[in-house]
Amino acid sequence: MNGAEQLVRTLVAEGVDVCFANPGTSEMHFVAALDQVGGIRCVLGLFEGVVTGAADGYARMAGKPGVTLLHTGPGLANGLANLHNARKAHVPIVNIVGEHAQWHIAHNAPLTSDIEGLARPVSDWIRTAKSAADLAVDGSAALAAARCTPGQIATLILPANTAWESVGDNVLGSLAKGDDSQPQSIAAADSASLSDDAALPITTGHASSLNDVPTVDAAQVSRTVDVLRNGDSVAIVLGGRALHEDALEHASRIAQATGATLLCETFKTRMQRGAGRVAVQAIPYRVQDATALLAPFRHIVTIGARPPVAFFAYPDTPSELYAPEAALHAFASVDQDLPDALAKLELALEASDYEPQRQPLATPEPVADGALTPESLANVVARLLPANAIVVDESITAGRGLLGATRSSAPHDWLEVCGGSIGEGFPLATGAAIACPERRVICIEGDGSAMYTVQALWTQAREALDITTLVLANQSYEILKHELQNVQASSGTIALSMMDLDKPALDWVSLAAGMGVPATKVTTVTELDNAFSRANATSGPALIEVIL
């Protein structure tokens, strides 16, 4: 048995059954081991940003780490943007990055690079394997690091010779009870190496596993009770796991008992919403709207969220979105057990008798037919959203009305890009569909953002994923036109030309067809009604180019 086979056996034993990959020469023994060992579905992405973004979407919905296979430093570098997004969203991912054989690195061949240096800004844990015999422990340690609450990025660098060299038949058996074909978890065997500073150069202070989550203490609960009962206006800002259905019901009881207002972060990792669930207003992206919303509150209590700040700095504009006189109170951080924290707060407030304020099912009346606008787009999506759908929203400016319009639609999960690096929508939808094959995924994507990872459509076709994609085609980076005004920069022909996508115009029907995804173009409400209904009722991926 070689090192690659040992590593794959370890991943399978730890519950890994999907690997998102774009391999090269250095990873060929790992690829061969996927055949030799079995048990892992390998999903090919034609660009590493698709691979890392799909791992993000998969992990958000599967509730366990997404695993990637990347080719040396340049391959990792191509995937960095969506690893940045995943890290901001606190999503667990294990990257396996191939490297030259150890003795070859000194020769500075063309692909030689500082892989650890590239990985460091987007990783909470990094290790370079030293030998084939270490790979069982290394793989288990990487997964343990990724599982740290609320989720971390772990990068395991795999020199080619450690993958092809023999490890001996007794190595895995000495670490895990049971035979080589079905090894058990060996995480416990690596407890010492997890605290090895040389092997673990990045530490976060997070819990050691998803099953070992710190909770809020009684003093913190008492202080927060005092804030909520003092009679001043209070906003409770929720994020992370606090936006799941069970936690939101606790939050609703707390709000009713105290008069506090429930809000949530602007960009959400995963929010469970729609009919039968508690609705929470998101803090708007636009600074003017956000500051107006938060201005009345004298206390901001954060639960799994950071204090609200502007996405960018602007001239003569404060970074904080809340009133200068408002007091901040961090009740529970994102790496704590947020449902438990809310349950403790509810109990201390004697709020358990309140019934959560769940949204009724209330879809809007159809709007009149005509040219599509952001408002009519939102109306169609709200009316026709399939029950139990997963919505991936990277609609930027054209989708500004979607969140509010779908408040009482059929129950669904809502995923967004949390790190600001645009272009993750297609890959997020791809990974979410693989994690939840029984659910329809609705991806709502701006045309400019979509071009960053258009290759994800090919993966969706290859894997026959049930994804309906709406590309909102306004033929511009419309968000940049808004930002140009916000930063008070003068503009002319050159500046505006950097924001237009109409010379030549993108043809999304042709682009999708070239990737193997059926597509259609719509310009009116009725056309979108028909195309959206048809796509959601048909197996496999479909793309609708929405002309706005």
Q: What's the token pair of residue 347?
A: 């109990």
Question: Looking at the domain assignment, is residue 67 inside a domain?
Answer: yes
**CB neighbourhood size of 140 (10 A):** 26
pLDDT at 430 over 50: yes
pLDDT at 196 over 90: no
Report yes or no: 506 and 473 within 8 Å, Cβ to Cβ: yes
Q: Give the mean pLDDT of the chain.
A: 91
The reported pLDDT for the residue numbered 481 is: 65
Instruction: State which amino acid sits at residue 102.
Output: Q
Do 157 and 48 fall into the same domain?
yes
Q: Check which CATH number belongs to the domain holding 318 and give it.
A: 3.40.50.1220
pLDDT tier, 316 (very low <50, low <70, confident <90, very high otherwise): confident
Distance linking the first and last C-alpha atoms of the chain: 57
Report yes or no: 424 and 269 within 8 Å, Cβ to Cβ: no
pLDDT tier, 482 (very low <50, low <70, confident <90, very high otherwise): low
Do 335 and 418 fall into the same domain?
no
Do 428 and 538 fall into the same domain?
yes
User: Any alpha helices (H) in 298-401, and if so which ranges?
Assistant: 338-348, 374-384
Q: What's the token pair of residue 541?
A: 């991926």
Question: Looking at the domain assignment, is residue 361 inside a domain?
Answer: no
Do 59 and 160 fall into the same domain?
yes
Residue 146 to residue 154: CA distance in whole angstroms:
5
Question: Looking at the domain assignment, is residue 513 inside a domain?
Answer: yes
Question: Looking at the domain assignment, is residue 519 inside a domain?
Answer: yes
Specify the higher pLDDT residue, 317 or 443: 443
pLDDT in tens, 19-70: 999 999 999 999 999 999 999 999 999 999 999 999 999 999 999 999 999 9
Q: Check which CATH number belongs to the domain holding 381 and give it.
A: 3.40.50.970
Mean pLDDT of 267-277: 98
Of the chain, the percentage scoring pLDDT greater than 70 comes to 89
Provide the domain count of the chain: 3
By residue count, the chain amounts to 548
Question: Looking at the domain assignment, is residue 202 inside a domain?
Answer: no
What domain range includes position 526? 374-547
Residue ending a domain, among 160, 194, 228, is 194
Do 317 and 391 fall into the same domain?
no
The reported pLDDT for the residue numbered 184 is: 34
Q: What's the token pair of residue 383?
A: 């009316």
Residue ending a domain, among 162, 194, 226, is 194
Do 62 and 20 fall into the same domain?
yes
Mean pLDDT of 63-82: 98
Question: Looking at the domain assignment, is residue 354 inside a domain?
Answer: no
Residues 6+ apart with CB under 8 A from 293: 263, 281, 283, 284
For 537, counting Cβ atoms within 10 Å of its Cβ (0-12 exposed, 13-18 middle, 19+ buried), the class is exposed
Question: Looking at the domain assignment, is residue 199 inside a domain?
Answer: no
Q: What's the token pair of residue 80?
A: 């960095």
Residues 6+ apart with CB under 8 A from 68: 19, 20, 21, 51, 52, 55, 79, 93, 94, 95, 96
Of 90, 61, 55, nearest in space to 76 by CA: 55
Of the chain, the percentage scoring pLDDT greater than 90 comes to 83
Do 100 and 9 fall into the same domain?
yes
Do 528 and 442 fall into the same domain?
yes
The reported pLDDT for the residue numbered 436 is: 98
pLDDT at 169 over 70: no
Of 344, 375, 372, 86, nearest in space to 224 by CA: 344
The reported pLDDT for the residue numbered 497 is: 75
Residue ending a domain, among 142, 162, 194, is 194
Do 69 and 101 fall into the same domain?
yes
Residue 461 to residue 481: CA distance in whole angstroms:
34
pLDDT at 398 over 60: yes
Mean pLDDT of 329-346: 97
Q: What's the token pair of residue 321?
A: 């979105």
The reported pLDDT for the residue numbered 487 is: 67
Range in 115-119, 459-463, 472-476 with the lowest mean pLDDT: 472-476
Provide the pairing of β-strand 271-273 with 412-416.
Answer: antiparallel
Do 14 and 156 fall into the same domain?
yes
Do 171 and 225 fall into the same domain?
no
pLDDT at 218 over 80: yes
pLDDT tier, 182 (very low <50, low <70, confident <90, very high otherwise): very low
Do 80 and 170 fall into the same domain?
yes
Tell me the β-bridge partners of 519.
543
Question: Looking at the domain assignment, is residue 417 inside a domain?
Answer: yes
